[in-house]
């Protein structure tokens, strides 16, 4: 392997990594808002709303990310919506990730013991306030694991944005290969960059799960020995 | 005569084909302590849960201190069901203690109690904390207010649950088998607290299998079988001279025989 070549292309790949990180992080944040709002409506909404959210999930989960990216790229302009390439990427990825996040939020909300809800109702909270103050805070902890999975998938799914020539990590690597034919060097570096992104995310998520959403220091029995 | 606080009129409840409560009627006076007794599946828990509409009666009306629960009659004497908002407003007058405690798992003992005070009664934070501390002290838990539910014993959890309900200063307290999940020592902790409340003229409706406790605690005991009211009276009378064969049969399983004193 040509080490000096690898060092030489690091700055180019870093710039592209920054694009990957941005498009994933923004989609993740917007997707999180949609995921939680639609997930809550999926559980607490009336029949029509539940039907709509179910339909959304079927479409978003049932079609490949690549098709959704093409759809955003070709169909949005037809509807008179002209967006920069980066925004098209965000729309497509947000659509994709929201579909999965709705189901993560639904499953977490429904996993909370019914007794918690009854206790909330019994002290005079309305159904919505019970959800807001009791069910949702407890469900957030249970969402962390599956959400981390979803975010890791999202970062990797963003590589499909090369299809519409958004200059993210995979596209950048592809362009370097096309110019130099040095497959091995480029692919190893690209894979390594994705790996670092996903691992940092997992570490952050584990920290949040154990420290921020840890209800009481001894929620983790190991802590009893540390104190 | 003391005023009547709670009325249940011709209450029926069915789950699908099974009718678990059949034409149940009761009037509870202010300050009265009523025990609902009966075997598992006799409908006593369902009756208790209908009082604050955690279960909706299939037929019949429930009345608490001037208002119907679950709805009201409009000017044309038509029945209008309560909205979630109305129902929440009525439920805050009724405290409930559950068999499985149901403490909010993500909140400390103190915040389990303050949640209702700040979010339902809209008390300022300081006042809510002072009131919560007062009631936690009352159930002998002032040293444990910072603990989370999973850090407490069952008896402590149940006492937090009692404090949580009391802090709302309800007109009526409901206890649904509050000691069924506890060992005898912890059961005793909880029963002692209930006994102390009894001395304060709080109106209570209690479902329990602790017949020894029921006997000296209650003003009145109601015996049910298969969702049907069998008989009622002072516990002493039910234990010593029950009118129905069924009552004496059931109580004999609890270690009491007809004629026991």
What pLDDT, in 10s, does the model give residues B223-240?
Answer: 999 999 999 999 999 988
Cα(B139)–Cα(A196) distance, integer angstroms: 53
Of A121, A126, A128, Cβ closest to residue B54: A121
Q: What is the pLDDT of residue A31?
A: 95
Segment A121-179, tens digit of pLDDT: 999 999 999 999 999 999 988 898 899 999 999 999 999 999 999 999 999 999 999 99
Of A115, A126, A134, Cβ closest to residue B88: A126
Give the nearest chain A residue to B165 (CA atoms): A123
Q: Which of A211, A170, A116, A143 is nearest to B105 (CA)?
A: A116
CA distances from B138 to B144, B166, B192 (A): 12, 10, 11
Q: Tell me the pLDDT of chain B averaged across its residues.
A: 92
Count of beta carbons in the 10 Å neighbourhood of residue B74: 9
Strand order in the sheet with B59-64: B18-29, B4-15, B59-64, B67-68
The mean pLDDT value for B173-199 works out to: 92
Q: What is the pLDDT of residue B62?
A: 95
Tell me the pairing of strands B228-233 and B220-225: antiparallel
Cα(B251)–Cα(B120) distance, integer angstroms: 41
Q: Is A215–B105 a contact, with Cβ atoms under 8 angstroms apart?
A: yes
Residue B255 has pLDDT above 70, yes or no: no
Q: What is the pLDDT of residue B201?
A: 87
Cα(B199)–Cα(A90) distance, integer angstroms: 65
Give the nearest chain B residue to A135 (CA atoms): B104
- Cα dihedral B114, B117, B120, B126 in deg (nearest 10): -100
Give the least confident one: B1-5, B62-66, B138-142, B176-180. Answer: B1-5
Q: What is the pLDDT of residue B257?
A: 55
Q: Are B19 and B68 in contact (CB under 8 A)?
A: no
Which of B98, B104, B132 to substitute to test the interface with A, most A CBs within 10 Å? B104
Tell me the pairing of strands B33-37 and B59-64: unpaired
Q: What is the pLDDT of residue A217?
A: 46
Strand spans (E) along B49-104: 59-64, 67-68, 71-73, 79-81, 94-97
Residue B149 has pLDDT above 90, yes or no: yes
Q: Is B105 on the interface with A (CB under 8 A)?
A: yes
State the pLDDT confidence band at A90, using cuts at 50, 70 and 90. very high
> Which domains does chain A show, CATH number per domain?
3-226 (1.10.3720.10)
Q: What is the pLDDT of residue A223?
A: 43
Residue B91 has pLDDT above 60, yes or no: yes
Q: Which of A16, A7, A2 is nearest to A175 (CA)?
A: A16
Residue B219 has pLDDT above 70, yes or no: yes
Of A123, A134, A216, Cβ closest to residue B120: A123
């Amino acid at each position: 392997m040509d080490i000096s070549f690898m060092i030489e292309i690091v700055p180019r790949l870093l710039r592209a990594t920054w694009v990957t990180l941005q498009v994933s992080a923004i989609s993740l944040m917007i997707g999180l808002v949609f995921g939680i709002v639609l997930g809550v409506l999926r559980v607490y909404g009336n029949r029509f709303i539940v039907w709509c959210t179910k339909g959304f999930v079927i479409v978003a989960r049932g079609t490949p990310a690549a098709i959704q990216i093409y759809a955003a790229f070709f169909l949005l302009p037809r509807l008179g919506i002209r967006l920069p390439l980066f925004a098209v990427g965000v729309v497509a990825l947000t659509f994709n990730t929201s579909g999965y996040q709705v189901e993560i939020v639904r499953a977490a909300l429904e996993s909370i013991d019914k007794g918690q809800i009854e206790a909330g109702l019994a002290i005079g909270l309305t159904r919505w306030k019970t959800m807001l103050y009791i069910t949702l805070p407890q469900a957030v902890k249970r969402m962390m694991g599956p959400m981390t999975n979803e975010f890791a998938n999202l970062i990797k799914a963003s590589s499909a944005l090369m299809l519409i020539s958004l200059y993210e990590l995979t596209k950048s690597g592809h362009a370097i290969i096309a110019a130099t034919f040095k497959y091995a060097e480029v692919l190893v570096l690209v894979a390594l960059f994705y790996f670092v992104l996903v691992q940092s995310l997992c570490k952050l998520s584990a920290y949040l799960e154990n420290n921020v959403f840890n209800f009481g220091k001894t929620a983790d029995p190991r802590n009893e020995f540390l104190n | 005569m003391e005023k009547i606080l709670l009325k249940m009129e011709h209450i029926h409840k069915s789950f699908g084909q099974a009718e678990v409560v059949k034409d149940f009627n009761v009037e509870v006076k202010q300050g009265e302590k009523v025990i609902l007794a009966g075997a598992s599946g006799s409908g006593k828990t369902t009756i208790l849960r209908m009082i604050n509409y955690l279960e909706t009666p299939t037929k019949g009306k429930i009345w608490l201190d001037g208002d119907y629960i679950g709805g009201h009659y409009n000017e044309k004497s038509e029945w209008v069901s309560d909205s979630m908002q109305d129902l929440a407003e009525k439920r805050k007058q009724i405290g409930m203690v559950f068999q499985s405690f149901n403490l909010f798992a993500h909140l400390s003992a103190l915040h389990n109690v303050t949640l209702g005070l700040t979010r339902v009664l809209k008390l300022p934070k300081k006042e809510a904390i002072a009131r919560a501390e007062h009631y936690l002290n009352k159930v002998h838990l002032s040293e444990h207010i910072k603990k989370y539910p999973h850090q407490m014993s069952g008896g402590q959890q149940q006492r937090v649950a009692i404090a949580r309900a009391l802090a709302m200063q309800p007109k009526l307290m409901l206890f649904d088998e509050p000691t069924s999940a506890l060992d005898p020592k912890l059961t005793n902790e909880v029963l002692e607290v209930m006994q102390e409340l009894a001395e304060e003229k709080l109106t209570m409706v209690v479902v329990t299998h602790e017949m020894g406790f029921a006997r000296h605690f209650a003003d009145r005991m109601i015996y049910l079988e298969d969702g049907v009211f069998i008989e009622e009276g002072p516990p002493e009378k039910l234990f010593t001279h029950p009118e129905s064969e069924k009552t004496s049969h059931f109580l004999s399983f609890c270690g009491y025989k007809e004629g026991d004193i």
